[in-house]
Amino acid sequence: MTQKPFIPFGGEAIHTRRIEDARVVVLPVYYEVAPSFGSGSGQGPYHLLNASFELECLDEETLLDWRELGIHTVSGLVPAKVPEQAVEEIEKEAAKYLGDGRFLFSVGGDHAITIGLSKAAAASYPDIGVLQIDAHLDLRDQWNGSRYNHACVIRRIAEDLKIPFVQVGIRSFCPEEYDYIKTRHLYPFYAHNLNPADDSWMDDVVYALPENVYISIDLDGLDPSVLPGTGTPVPGGMTYRQVVELIRRVGSEKNVVAADINELAKVEGSVVSEFTAAKIATKVFVYCVR
């Protein structure tokens, strides 16, 4: 296990130097193993953190200055390329920063990082549930030679960790995954049912979650017209405003204890995706950090 060079979220001027004075800890996780289609998420943290330097610090909706939360970024983690070992290393690193009133915000990397992160969160909050924003169900039992692949994230959360979950934005899955949700009577919030003109479905999402929540945002949950820079873009996804409003609703009614953003893949010649991802990160800060 190695460490990446230090890149603070928002830049040096925003970085809270003493972790004891911070309410938010940003953990970059540079991890990508056996991607399904496009690659590049392994460097996602680098691009998101660099884009965060260009953000304005005043949130336009709440008029809150998110710098005042105290944001401490730790050195980037580079887990082992062996998936089982990577899960353990990510869990161990995340456990250092959970609790004591701090909010852990992790930046990936492929979606497999969420296995170790949610495991660490569940150790601190045994009654936790996971909100997954994603184009894919991620319910395969095995993919590309591993049970800990990004396509197996929610299967591991469900079966190995026994954590309840709610899936939003779904529009891509295989017969194995569909059989799984049918036999277990699961009800994902499919993207084609999420009316941009009617947010009432969000009430059902909030109702289905327990009091303590971990939010995992796979960026392919957004429509590619909004955020094209991801390894497996799928048309027909969520709008930026839908994602932000869902974060706001969940943050106002539940105790969100940690979150991650994953699957950012740089599009050469464009900065739209990384800037949008960094902006979503600030929405998590202003709406979920108490």
136-186 per-position pLDDT tens digit:
999 999 888 899 999 999 999 999 999 999 999 999 999 999 999 999 999
Model pLDDT, residue 36: 62
135-146 per-position pLDDT tens digit:
999 999 988 889
Q: How confident is residue 279, by pLDDT bands cut at 50, 70 and 90?
A: very high
pLDDT of 128 higher than 70: yes
User: What number of CA atoms fall less than 13 Å from residue 253's CA on the CB side?
Assistant: 15
CA of 14: how far to CAs of 19, 60, 73, 271, 280, in Å? 13, 18, 10, 21, 17
Domains in the chain: boundaries? 2-288
Are residues 281 and 71 in contact, defined by beta-carbon separation less than 8 angstroms? no
Q: Is the peptide bond before 109 cis (omega within 30 degrees of 0)?
A: yes
User: What number of CA atoms fall less than 13 Å from residue 234's CA on the CB side?
Assistant: 23
State pTM to two decimals: 0.96
Burial class of residue 277 (count of CB atoms within 10 Å of its CB; 0-12, 13-18, 19+): buried
Tokens encoding 214: 């971990």
Task: For Cα atoms 62, 27, 274, give the angle at the middle one, nearest 5 degrees.
Answer: 60
The superfamily (CATH) of domain 2-288 is Ureohydrolase domain (3.40.800.10)
Q: What percent of the chain has pLDDT above 70?
A: 97
84-116 per-position pLDDT tens digit:
999 999 999 999 999 888 999 999 999 999 999
Centroid of chain to Cα 160: 19
Model pLDDT, residue 34: 55
Q: What is the mean pLDDT of the chain?
A: 95
pLDDT of 3 higher than 90: no
Collapsing DSSP to helix, strand or coil, 248 comes out as helix
